[in-house]
Amino acid sequence: MPALQKKNSPPTTKLVPLLHPAGGLIYHARAARLANRRWSDFRAEIGGWLNDWQPDTEGLLLVGPSAGYTLSSAFLNRFHEVVAIDFDPLAKLLFRSRHRECRLTQWIEEDIFPVSRAGIDWKRLKIRLRQFPSHAVLFSNVLGQIAMNTPYEDAVERDLGNLPDLLNGRPWASYHDRLSAPFRPTLPGQTAHQNDIELAGTAYREGGEVISHSTALLGQNLPCETFAWECRPRYWHLIEACSANANGPFTDLSPR
Nearer to ligand SAM, 88 or 157 (CB): 88
Q: 76, 128, 141, 183: which one contacts ligand SAM (CB under 6 A)?
A: 141
- Verify binding: residue 66, ligand SAM, rule CB under 6 A: yes
- Verify binding: residue 145, ligand SAM, rule CB under 6 A: yes
Can you give the chain as a three-state secondary structure string? CEEEECCCCCCCCCCCHHHCCCCHHHHHHHHHHHCCCCCHHHHHHHHHHHHHCCCCCCEEEEECCCCCCCCCHHHHCCCCEEEEECCCCCHHHHHHHHCCCCCEEEEECCCCCCEECCEECCHHHHHHHHHCCCEEEEEECCHHHHHHHCCCHHHHHHHHCCHHHHCCCCCEEEEEEEEEECCCCCCCCCCCCCCHHHHHHHHCCCCEEEEECCCCCCCCCCCEEEEEEEEECCEEEEEEEEEECCCCCCCCCCCC
Nearer to ligand SAM, 115 or 253 (CB): 115
- Verify binding: residue 75, ligand SAM, rule CB under 6 A: no
Nearer to ligand SAM, 85 or 216 (CB): 85
Q: 60, 112, 125, 148: which one contacts ligand SAM (CB under 6 A)?
A: 112
Candidates 48-56, 58-66, 94-102, 210-218: pick the segment binding ligand SAM (CB under 6 A): 58-66
Nearer to ligand SAM, 88 or 202 (CB): 88
Q: How far apart are CA 56 and CA 74, in angstroms?
A: 16
Candidates 49-57, 65-73, 181-189, 233-241: pick the segment binding ligand SAM (CB under 6 A): 65-73
Nearer to ligand SAM, 22 or 160 (CB): 22
Interaction residues for ligand SAM, span 78-97 (CB under 6 A) = 85-88, 91
Interaction residues for ligand SAM, span 18-37 (CB under 6 A) = 20, 22-23, 27
Footprint of ligand SAM on this chain (CB under 6 A)? 17, 20, 22-23, 27, 64-66, 68-71, 85-88, 91, 111-113, 140-142, 145
